[in-house]
Every structure is written in C-alpha cells, then in structure tokens.
Amino acid sequence: MRTLAEPVEGAEVRVEPKETPGIEVNGVPATVDYVAKADVRVDLADETCSDLLDGTRSFVVEHVLGPLGLRGVTAAKVVGVREEWDFARPEHRFCYAAEMGPDSVVGHPAGLPNPALAEALGEVDLVESEPRPRRTVSEPVTFAAGGGEIELRPREYGAGVRFDVRLGDATITAEVDPQGDNDEALIESVTNSTTPYLSPTDEEAVTHSIADLVSDLAVVGGFDDLAVEADLGDAYHALTVGAARTAHRSGLVERRE
C-alpha cells in the first residue's frame, strides 16, 4: 500500500493520506461498484444516490484518479475544494440544479488529467506499508461499446499494465505500474494532454487516454498486471469501465499475493 506522507493539492482537489487500502473521492470508494456514469466522463456515487437529487456524487473523477494511478498511490482520500460555480461547465450546471456544491466536480476545468496534482504527488513523500495483493484477469476479457473494442489479457505478477491503444488515426503504447514508480516523461505528457473532446489532434487525444485507462482499469477496476489492447471510439469510458465491470461480474479477477 502506498499513501501520502502529507496532504497535497491540485486543481479542484485536495488529496489526503489514508490508513487503509483504496482511494475514496468525497467519501465514496473508487471501485466499479460505485460508478454511476461512464461514457464521456466517469462519476462516482454512494448507494443513496439514485439520481442527481440525493446522496453524494462526484463528477469527472478520472481526472484525479489517473494521476494517482500514474504516481502509484493506492490509498488516499480525495476531497473536492471548488467553492465557486463555473456555469460554462455542464457538470456545474447539473450540480447547481441538484442542489449539490461545486466541490462535487473534481475534474480539471481545461480537460486535463490534473498536471498540478501529478506534480504535487511527485514531490511529496510516499509511505509504503505491506504490499497489497496484485490483480489480473484469469483469462482474456473482451468488450465492445461506444464504437470501440477492448481486450484485457493476463500478465505475469509484477509486470504492471501495458497499454496498446488506438484513437482515431493515432496509436500509443505505454507501460504503467499502478503500485510503483513510473516514467516521468510519460506522466508529464499524459497529464498535459487535453481530453479528446478538446484535443487539436488525435495524437494528443490518444496520449490523454492513457490517464483515463489508468483511472478506469487500474484504479476503479483494481488491476495491476494486464496487457490491454483497445481501439477507442466515442464515449470510451463505457468501454473501459465496462470491461472492468465485466471481469468482476464474470468472476475473472485473479488475486495474487
């Protein structure tokens, strides 16, 4: 388990140490069981949040979970800190109408995977305790949604996650260990790349997608060792979260000490 020695802040959020494994956003566990929406963005909600009018819901969580996964943080409390409304953002309009605060939106206002948070996490000391079990799939998992396809394949213990991703006319290959140190150049390029809905090129969009896949598969899905091949379409969080959810619901998650 790796947590922070002290709190840090990035755009829209504060991240605090946590004494038990797992990441929470505004008190809600970042796991597939708590995903309330997965398409153009990922929202987490507690069990009382059947719609936008009750419970606790956090919007655009991939922009904070991606940097945490890239930095190898496996235990943390994320708290939204936004105090002012930005009604140009649809998520803020949703929250205002539902009588939620602007702190429910933890996504970056410019559509980035929170480079300020990634930088802060890179500067703070991380505290390691007993290693948590690593997880892979016991057999290949394929899933299609949103005009895309994805395959998750087992990988040896400690290998991390290898991403081979296509988006539009661009491709990228990246190696990430969700429980370890990762390449600084990769973290910088990924967290400074805008969402596909704002990216000027497919190359920047597919680079951004690595943060989203780390969020959806490594953090929310809980996987540490995988080979991932993905051809991403529109609203691709339905694809990535859908693949993770399928693996869990089909009993194909393999836990290894």
* pLDDT per residue as tens digits for the range 138-160: 999 999 998 899 999 999 999 99
Give the model's pLDDT for residue 146: 80
Give the model's pLDDT for residue 56: 86
Query: CA Rg, the chain, in Å?
Result: 17
For 251, residues 6+ apart whose C-beta sits below 8 A from its C-beta are: none
Q: Which of the four pLDDT bands, split at 50, 70 and 90, describes residue 102?
A: very high
Q: Which of the four pLDDT bands, split at 50, 70 and 90, describes residue 53?
A: very low
Q: Which of the four pLDDT bands, split at 50, 70 and 90, describes residue 54?
A: low
SS3 state of residue 130: coil
For 185, residues 6+ apart whose C-beta sits below 8 A from its C-beta are: none
Distance, CA of 226 to CA of 140 (rounded, Å): 10
Give the model's pLDDT for residue 188: 98
Give the model's pLDDT for residue 130: 81
Beta pairing, strands 134-137 & 253-256: antiparallel
pTM: 0.95
Please report, to the nearest 10 degrees, the dihedral formed by the alpha carbons of residues 101, 104, 106, 110 taken in order: -50
